[in-house]
Structure 1
Amino acid sequence: MSAADRLLPRPLHVEDRSGEFVLDATTSIAADEAAAEQAALLRAALSASTGWGFDGRGGREIALSVDPSLAAEGYRLSVAAEGVRIAGGSASGVGNGVQAFLQLLPPQVYRRATVPWVRWVAPACEVADEPAFRWRGVMLDVARHFLPKHDVLRFVDLMAMHRLNVLHLHLTDDQGWRIQINRYPRLTEVGAWRRESQVGYGADAPGDGRPHGGYYTQDDLREIVAYASARGITIVPEIESPGHVQAAIAAYPELGVTGEPLEVGTRWGIIPNVLNAEDSTVAFFRYVLDEVLEVFPSAFIGVGGDECVKDQWRADARTQERMRELGVGSEDELQSWFVRQLDEHLTARGRRLFGWDEILEGGLAPGATVASWRGSTGAVAAARAGHDVVLCPDETVYLNYRQSEHPEEPIPLVVVITVRDVYAFDPVPAGLTESERAHVLGGQANLWTEYIDSPRTLDYFAFPRLCALAEALWTAGDRDYDAFASRLDAHLARLDALGVEYRRADGPLPWQTRPGIPGRIDTRAARAATVAALTANIAPTP
């Protein structure tokens, strides 16, 4: 098998050479200071499966270095009989080269105990590579179903393996608040726990009668941030507002419009309870963001902004009075005012607000970056207005959607999104000028977890579709799905070695089904019509 056939995502340039590099007990790993952390990660990965220490002298060497002449995330990998050289434009670039080198070795290299019967060889080759997009992300919803820290770290490892570099962590929603805020302890004392969870789709779906919850301490999150950073991944936190906030209102009822006590949400879907627009509520979320900034060094900080039902604002006399005080003429403009307060706060602290495309309604905050999930309409409108965008259209990269028409797909949702569909994803919408295209940072897949209630289920929905996303966001130029599918078949042996319970091409295994639990099935035409109606108020002028 050639080197090119082993690598996923596909690199820009691969040249096979004669010979092979053989690892043995005398092989050593060396690195310059800038690449020392990547050398430690490589040594740990190789030592686990081979049983060798890679600190010997006199044998063949794997040398890691940072070369500033390369693109920041780019790398050069040279494999020859006498040694291996991995250079990257930064530590992250070196890390990408390390991941490519691991893929040249037998798939057993991903096992965590010694595999003594394997001959550890890599084919001689030259690889020159760099990513097409700077934002190659995954949104992971830990609010609907809490994912323990151990499993978040495992997911980070799987992202790094595929050269994905942004983990957008959805930390708060109606059904749970997952980040410790020292100033407001009830956010986790109350908001991190719900009495039960809805099972299946629809108003008639029952609850399971089982309490669910959990949260990350700030030290947990600092650990996740450091772990991800060492692997070239930025964690972008998201704190929802002014909708999707019932967990926060349950903890502090004064944040709501009515002031009435609420429980943490137990039902899925769009919930009408929203924040009020008082200065005290804005101040509350500014204080929350201040603690978020202390934990997360990311330039981008998510504030949500999606699916904010404005019925309570319309019906509430105080909110209408507040709108007159602020001089805003509509409820859409009131949401824009709220988001702008947070934008100004983040901008003053050197950060950038990141929100869903609904933040375009009523006017966009000056420093905002838009995640366009309702098709590409929001991306086009934002880019034409001079704002950066990340494309994540639900009909292509919502990986909680069903994977086939197979009747045993677990809790089937909306439209079918196959591996082939994800592979065809292009984060640059048609019709943008060259200057507008420059505002497209990249794309991401979204994994909403209303019906993903365990790490095993997360595996099933994420993989192998995330493998296709990784290549769609990494590799520039023409795409060949058949060639990708062939490389993916070989790549699945690596996922097997890691214990990833991915979806098989012929459908779910028996324990991956959820018999008797209804979902929601749409046609693509029906979904497109819904999205067009939802985005009519932000559609740009042709």
Structure 2
Amino acid sequence: MTDLIPSPRTLDVTPGSFEFTPRGTVSGPADLVDPVRVALAVLDLDRDGMARAGAETAPEAPVSVERDRNLGPEAYAVSVTPEAVRIAAGGPAGALYAGQTLRQLLPAAAFRASALPGVRWSIPCGRVEDAPRYAWRGAHLDVSRHFMPKREVLRLVDLLAAHKLNRLHLHLADDQGWRVESRAYPLLHEVGSHRARTTTARSRGETSFDDSPHGGHYSLDDLTEIAAYARARAVTVVPEIDVPGHASAILAAYPRFGADPAERHEVLDRWGISPAILAPLPATIAFLETVFAEVTEALGATPYFHIGGDECVLDAWAASPVIDGHRRALGLATPGDLHAWFLRRLADTLAAQGSRAVVWDEAFVSGMLREDTIVMPWRGVEVGRRAAAAGHDIVATPVFPLYFDYAEAASAEEPLAIGDAVTIEDVAAFEPAPASWSPEEAGRVLGAQFQLWTERIPDGRALDYRAWPRGCAAAQVAWSGGAGGFHAALPAHLARLDAFGVEYRPPAGPLPWQRGGTGARGHRPGAVPVSRVMRRLEEMTHEADSTRPSLG
């Protein structure tokens, strides 16, 4: 019981063990039984007949779950004796997490897709009482720079749920690709979802390319499937359509929504910031309202919708007589104010659709956002504190230590990364609400989320390598807080990831076939240290023109 990740709030171990019977039954209310069955799928447990009838009280059975209205929706308690397993849960999410705890108490083979013969499915006796520290425990997946097929998204959902992570932030649109079907504006996926080539340059000034086309997109039906699959595992999908900047793919399809409608664009084939930007005009807002509605309708209940707002080059707005006239008609002093107005207008639209807007931290600087807009301060804890002090809820997303596109070590053996280094120790030591913050500021922290930007993550194998086991440490931070017991529990947990088939980065360093080598995937000599990046970002949060591009 001491090898649980994330570690529970309270844990008492008693003598003896309980043995599950594969294809046995679990009893209780159906909405609580089903999540337990999802978590323990390898055992192929069946629902008791009373559960199908919607019984609120669990009957006497070896494995049972009941609702405890004194518990929070994600909280649970598990009692294990040699005769029975009793689960109390505040809601379906709590029942799922109880099941995930039981799964970790089983042999590592419980993380395989099918039961192995000869395994004794026993768990130690004791009691676990648990609830999360933070409500938002997430992972961000950029599917624009490199598209990840639906199977990879569903697999990531399974891994998030296994670690009691409950948000999947899908970055669906950027300069390098638009990744979702639009029936109202079909050129978005017909034109904007693919690029002719992809840069292989490893530093500024290089011009090398892989001349193979790259692309892909999810149908709206795919989104519906992904969202339903995620909900069954207590994971909320947070879509992101990043606007008004990062708009090359949108404008390749529909140039009329750009600052200069006569300018033609292509889906960007290199990394960095593009000056391509949408026009903050009524026609663009109507276009985005329609597309947002398509996405939210496909996803179903969408409590959060990310609209980006970061790294916008506003020169084209200042140069456009039409846009500048629109700014003056609105009584706004600067293009930066127009940027804030545009995002607030979209947030109002989303609120009417039942979604709460989320933005990156550049978007809050003007102070004109809706009060209920959630801010993700990626440039560091200080800008997060400023957003919290301004009355915004925040989700901690700082480059250090939650950008997992940075290498795990400053070593020539590592594959190519954006820079060096974010270690698992760095992640485990992270505090989303530092002790120096006031209680009011700390109370604005909804949680934390690690980011998987995919410029240098071309496929699922590379995704595994970057995400795990650093994602395990992030789960510990967001659920439990602090690294207590994490490092001691990690070896046993890695055996679970092995059984699942996760190609994680071993703590001792990459396996021979995971190394970067001397080719295009090789480690870049003199890679930028993450500490230097953070110093520069901290400086930029205090500069007057915060809407200028922040990273090349």
- TM-score class normalised by the smaller sequence: over 0.9
1:278 partner letter: L
Aligned twin of 2:450: 445
The one of 11, 15, 21 aligned to 1:14: 11
Between 531-540 and 208-217, report the one with greater CA deviation: 531-540
Partners of 2:344 and 2:393 lie apart in 1 by 16
After superposition, the Cα gap between the structure-2 partners of 1:19 and 1:360, relative to the gap in structure 1 and judged at 3 Å, is: same
Shift of the alpha carbon at 1:148?
Answer: 0.8
Shift of the alpha carbon at 1:507?
Answer: 1.5
1:111 partner letter: R
The answer on 1:32 being equivalent to 2:29 is yes
The answer on 1:394 being equivalent to 2:399 is yes
1:308 partner letter: C
Between 441-450 and 303-312, report the one with greater CA deviation: 303-312
Whether the 8 Å contact between 2:404 and 2:422 is mirrored in structure 1 is: yes
Q: Cα deviations across residues 273-303 of structure 1 (Å, max 9, x unaligned)?
A: 1111221112111111122221232211100
Aligned twin of 1:405: 410
Aligned twin of 2:278: 275
The answer on 1:531 being equivalent to 2:537 is yes
RMSD: 2.2
Partners of 2:66 and 2:233 lie apart in 1 by 15
Q: Cα deviations across residues 431-488 of structure 1 (Å, max 9, x unaligned)?
A: 4322222211011001000110100000000000000000011114x543xx321201
Q: Secondary structure at the match of 2:210?
A: coil
Shift of the alpha carbon at 1:26?
Answer: 7.6
Between 141-150 and 156-165, report the one with greater CA deviation: 141-150
The answer on 1:499 being equivalent to 2:496 is no
Q: Cα deviations across residues 193-216 of structure 1 (Å, max 9, x unaligned)?
A: 111111243331411111111111
After superposition, the Cα gap between the structure-2 partners of 1:271 and 1:285, relative to the gap in structure 1 and judged at 3 Å, is: same
After superposition, the Cα gap between the structure-2 partners of 1:25 and 1:351, relative to the gap in structure 1 and judged at 3 Å, is: closer
The answer on 1:101 being equivalent to 2:102 is yes
Q: Taking structure 1 as the reference length, what is the TM-score of the superposition?
A: 0.93
The answer on 1:204 being equivalent to 2:201 is no
Shift of the alpha carbon at 1:430?
Answer: 4.5
Whether the 8 Å contact between 1:381 and 1:538 is mirrored in structure 2 is: no
Aligned twin of 1:290: 293
Q: Secondary structure at the match of 2:506?
A: coil
Shift of the alpha carbon at 1:538?
Answer: 7.7
After superposition, the Cα gap between the structure-2 partners of 1:430 and 1:258, relative to the gap in structure 1 and judged at 3 Å, is: farther
Whether the 8 Å contact between 1:102 and 1:109 is mirrored in structure 2 is: yes
Aligned twin of 1:508: 510
Partners of 1:302 and 1:25 lie apart in 2 by 42
Q: How does 1:97-136 map to 2 (within 5 A)?
A: 97-136=98-137
The answer on 1:165 being equivalent to 2:166 is yes
Aligned twin of 1:311: 315
Partners of 1:106 and 1:141 lie apart in 2 by 33
Q: Taking structure 2 as the reference length, what is the TM-score of the superposition?
A: 0.92
Q: Secondary structure at the match of 1:362?
A: coil
The one of 41, 46, 64 aligned to 2:43: 46
Shift of the alpha carbon at 1:54?
Answer: 8.3
Q: How does 1:126-525 map to 2 (within 5 A)?
A: 126-201=127-202, 202-259=204-261, 260-296=263-299, 297-366=301-370, 367-476=372-481, 479-480=483-484, 483-514=485-516, 515-517=518-520, 519=524, 521-525=527-531
Shift of the alpha carbon at 1:62?
Answer: 1.4
Q: Secondary structure at the match of 2:161?
A: helix
2:274 partner letter: I
Partners of 2:115 and 2:483 lie apart in 1 by 37
Q: Cα deviations across residues 7-53 of structure 1 (Å, max 9, x unaligned)?
A: 11000000001110012358432221331321442453213xxxx86
After superposition, the Cα gap between the structure-2 partners of 1:322 and 1:509, relative to the gap in structure 1 and judged at 3 Å, is: same
Q: Cα deviations across residues 473-507 of structure 1 (Å, max 9, x unaligned)?
A: 1114x543xx3212011100000001100001122
Q: Secondary structure at the match of 1:292?
A: helix
Aligned twin of 2:87: 86
Between 69-78 and 126-135, report the one with greater CA deviation: 69-78
After superposition, the Cα gap between the structure-2 partners of 1:330 and 1:59, relative to the gap in structure 1 and judged at 3 Å, is: closer
Shift of the alpha carbon at 1:74?
Answer: 0.7
Q: Secondary structure at the match of 2:27?
A: strand
Q: Cα deviations across residues 498-538 of structure 1 (Å, max 9, x unaligned)?
A: 11000011221222233333647223442233112221148
Shift of the alpha carbon at 1:365?
Answer: 1.1
Partners of 1:26 and 1:304 lie apart in 2 by 46
2:528 partner letter: D
Q: Which runs of 5+ in 2 are unaligned?
A: 51-58, 547-552
Whether the 8 Å contact between 1:360 and 1:538 is mirrored in structure 2 is: no
Whether the 8 Å contact between 2:380 and 2:400 is mirrored in structure 1 is: yes
Whether the 8 Å contact between 1:133 and 1:474 is mirrored in structure 2 is: yes
Partners of 2:205 and 2:67 lie apart in 1 by 56
Q: Which runs of 5+ in 1 are unaligned?
A: none
Whether the 8 Å contact between 1:28 and 1:56 is mirrored in structure 2 is: no
Whether the 8 Å contact between 2:181 and 2:217 is mirrored in structure 1 is: yes
Partners of 2:531 and 2:26 lie apart in 1 by 55
Q: Cα deviations across residues 85-110 of structure 1 (Å, max 9, x unaligned)?
A: 12211100000000000100000111
Q: Secondary structure at the match of 1:459?
A: helix
1:345 partner letter: T
1:253 partner letter: P
Between 400-409 and 359-368, report the one with greater CA deviation: 359-368
After superposition, the Cα gap between the structure-2 partners of 1:127 and 1:308, relative to the gap in structure 1 and judged at 3 Å, is: same
Whether the 8 Å contact between 1:26 and 1:56 is mirrored in structure 2 is: no
After superposition, the Cα gap between the structure-2 partners of 1:376 and 1:59, relative to the gap in structure 1 and judged at 3 Å, is: closer
Partners of 1:533 and 1:456 lie apart in 2 by 35
Partners of 2:15 and 2:531 lie apart in 1 by 52
Between 408-417 and 90-99, report the one with greater CA deviation: 408-417
Q: Cα deviations across residues 311-366 of structure 1 (Å, max 9, x unaligned)?
A: 22233343333322222222211211110110111222332110000102333311
Whether the 8 Å contact between 2:197 and 2:214 is mirrored in structure 1 is: yes
Q: Cα deviations across residues 102-159 of structure 1 (Å, max 9, x unaligned)?
A: 1000001111233112222100010000000000011111111111111111100000
Partners of 1:365 and 1:224 lie apart in 2 by 30
Shift of the alpha carbon at 1:162?
Answer: 0.2
Shift of the alpha carbon at 1:67?
Answer: 1.7
Whether the 8 Å contact between 1:75 and 1:97 is mirrored in structure 2 is: yes
Partners of 1:538 and 1:8 lie apart in 2 by 43
Between 311-320 and 62-71, report the one with greater CA deviation: 311-320
